[in-house]
A and B are shown apart, each in its own frame.
Chain A
């Protein structure tokens, strides 16, 4: 094996920001007053990605602290027993904002992020396809149709976990931030009132079915999550495809965390109903510790996909709306469709940002790339493949 000859001296590279070979009339939009304001704001931000990420983390967590203080009516409605949960959620807000900023600063994510929002805010797109976004959000984020195409069992298990976690998050976060309060209008009940930011939104009889559901919402969430997470855990131990390259901290810990949180949560109810509160304090601490560690873990492990996935809707919207304009880009050799013109240009821009000097290659389909490489090998390296 020998080293290849030295790379040629710096050659003239196309302007990284330049758009190339797009159909006429598809050039960049003229900068508006709004975009120049945005540009000035961006200029004022810290230059390093880390600096911007820390700033985003501080701002978001500070906003959450203010939301907790004002949402709990200056802490009047705040339940101090829930402080560890609230503190963990502030750390969660910092971590998510930090990681999100780092993530969308990378060329690939940044360009799709920008194009996704551009498609979202385009009045033209809205007029052409007003239902596109809600439909995508429902099928992609809610019902996760794409998971069904991977495996029906995985789809079913993921739906259980998803809806269980959504239900748990909708109850837990407002509760730990002091936004939800339950008050009894008639002394010891059974009439109860649920209040959000001090405003009554629901009145119910605590002994009715609605009352039972209200007080056992988190138990119901646990009942949804446990079978789903258990299926994935079983799969991680049995399915050889899933086991290939799996890592304990990345693949197993999230499932174990979900199961521990759910089981300890259910045990709290078990303790209060069947053990007259026996072991409740220990279980409460165990449950709290598992939740707090999971919340802090979210930005750094597999759970970050919860934050990333919604951004993928932007990518879908960008592709969908540019397809509406019939801008399908075909392979320069075989003329098979590759993707939309806007998408190919977006990818070429990403490749130029990354100084991958073969962005022109993106205009050929994968098969033609292989065939052209094979032809080059045949004609220039080993004639006749001898």
Chain B
């Protein structure tokens, strides 16, 4: 971290699904949208969260580590590629190990599918499809300096905490200035299940 990458600002997301449609147009996985757009507080607010692959750096790509077929390649630029079609056996280890819930699986094709940061575009300096079309800048592609030039004083965080474990990622999130000293909560420990408080 951190060259040109995606910066996610859920505070700007209006849930318009433009990123979902644009992702489908990406040449490297035509017809299949690999970005996730979740309405996290459904029924209570319009809050929405776009999720692309976070390209974990430390530990390096848990999806690749748990892969029994060595199918997930991490390129020298830190991009965690989608599974190699020749090797992927469709076991779904990556799908269920990813702490961010990113990879998808096609069980018929026995193939994992996941965001590869639009490698066909970013390898040539172009922004990924999702960031290109996002009308509000909830998905921004560039360097921190470029982000700050547009949004003075903005802070970003690239470390997430899951229980007692921290994961440092290649993709970052925009956070309030006072939060930047701390890792972003990843959702673990779970505090409620189906509306019930499960903290003990």
- Are A and B co-members of a single complex? yes
Could you tell me which A residues sit within 8 Å of B by CB distance?
A: 1-2, 4-5, 7-8, 11, 103, 106-109, 111-113, 146-147, 149-150, 240-241, 243-245, 302, 305, 308-309, 312, 315, 319, 332-334, 338-339, 344, 347, 350-351, 354-358, 360-362, 364-378, 380-382, 384-386
B91 close to A315 (CB less than 8 A):
yes
A contact residues around B186 at 8 Å (CB): 358, 373, 376
B contact residues around A103 at 8 Å (CB): 70
A–B complex contacts, Cβ < 8 Å, 13 sampled: A2-B181, A4-B166, A241-B27, A245-B28, A245-B75, A305-B87, A360-B188, A361-B99, A367-B36, A377-B184, A381-B179, A382-B176, A385-B45
Task: Find residues 63-103 in chain B having any chain A CB closer than 8 Å to their own CB.
Answer: 65-70, 73, 75, 81, 85-87, 89-93, 95-103
Known contacts A5-B182, A245-B28; 7 additional CB pairs below 8 A are A1-B144, A1-B180, A319-B91, A355-B59, A361-B162, A369-B98, A376-B185
Known: A108-B66, A245-B75, A344-B96. A381 touches B164 (CB 8 A): no
B contact residues around A107 at 8 Å (CB): 65-66
B66 close to A351 (CB less than 8 A):
yes
Could you tell me which B residues sit within 8 Å of A by CB distance?
A: 1-2, 10-11, 13, 27-30, 36, 38, 40-41, 45, 47-49, 51, 59, 62, 65-70, 73, 75, 81, 85-87, 89-93, 95-104, 106, 108-111, 116, 119-120, 123, 144, 155-160, 162-168, 172-173, 175-176, 179-188, 190, 193-194
What's the A-B contact tally at a CB cutoff of 8 Å?
Answer: 223
A contact residues around B167 at 8 Å (CB): 358
B contact residues around A245 at 8 Å (CB): 28, 73, 75, 81, 116, 119-120, 123
Q: Which of B2, B99, B155, B166 has the most CB of A within 10 A?
A: B99
Minimum Cβ distance to chain A for residue B6 (Å): 15
B2 close to A1 (CB less than 8 A):
yes
Chain B interface secondary structure, helix, strand, loop or mixed? Answer: loop
Q: How far is the CA of A146 from the CA of B91 in the complex (A)?
A: 13
B contact residues around A108 at 8 Å (CB): 65-68, 93
A4, A356, A362, A373: the one within 8 Å of B182 (CB): A4
Minimum Cβ distance to chain B for residue A150 (Å): 5
